Amino acid sequence: MDVIIEKTHALGRIRLNRPKAINALTLPMIEAIASALPDFAADPDIAAVLITGEGERGLCAGGDIRALYDARAHAGPHAEAFFRAEYRMNAAIKEFPKPYLAIMDGITMGGGVGVSAHGSVRIVTERTRMAMPETGIGFYPDVGGTWLLSRGPGEFGTYLGLTGDSFGGADAILAGFADYFVNSSQLPALIAALETLPATATLANIQDLVKGFSESHEPPHTPHLPEIDRAFAHDRLEDIIADLQASPSDFAKKTLAVMAQKSPTSMKVTLKLLRLARGSATLEECLEREFIATQRVVLSDEFYEGVRAAVVDKDRSPRWNPDKPEDVTDELVNSYFTIKLPKLFP
Residues with a catalytic annotation lie at 63, 111, 134, 142
Angle ∠(22,149,232) on CA atoms, nearest 5: 120
Q: Are 267 and 249 in contact (CB under 8 A)?
A: no
Between CA 92 and CA 88 the distance in angstroms is 6
The conformational region for residue 188 under phi > 0 = left, psi -120 to 50 = alpha, else beta, is alpha
Q: Do 138 and 266 form a contact (C-beta atoms < 8 A)?
A: yes
Mark 147-156 as b/e (b = at least 16 C-beta within 10 Å). Answer: bbbbebeebb
How far is Cα 93 from Cα 8, in angstroms, rounded to an integer? 20
> What is the phi-psi region of residue 99: left when phi exceeds 0, alpha when psi lies from -120 to 50, beta otherwise?
beta
Distances 157 to 129, 149, 219, 270 between C-alpha atoms, Å: 16, 4, 14, 11
Peptide bond into 322 cis (omega under 30): yes
Strand order in the sheet with 121-124: 3-8, 11-16, 48-53, 100-104, 121-124, 180-182, 214-215
Task: Please name which of 257, 254, 256, 267 lies closest in space to residue 306, comparing C-alpha atoms.
Answer: 267
The answer to whether 53 and 29 are in contact (CB under 8 A) is no
- Report the distance separating Cα 180 and Cα 168, nearest Å: 12
Which ranges of 195-321 does DSSP label H, i.e. alpha helix?
203-211, 225-231, 237-245, 250-259, 264-278, 283-297, 301-307
For residue 25, give the DSSP letter.
Answer: B
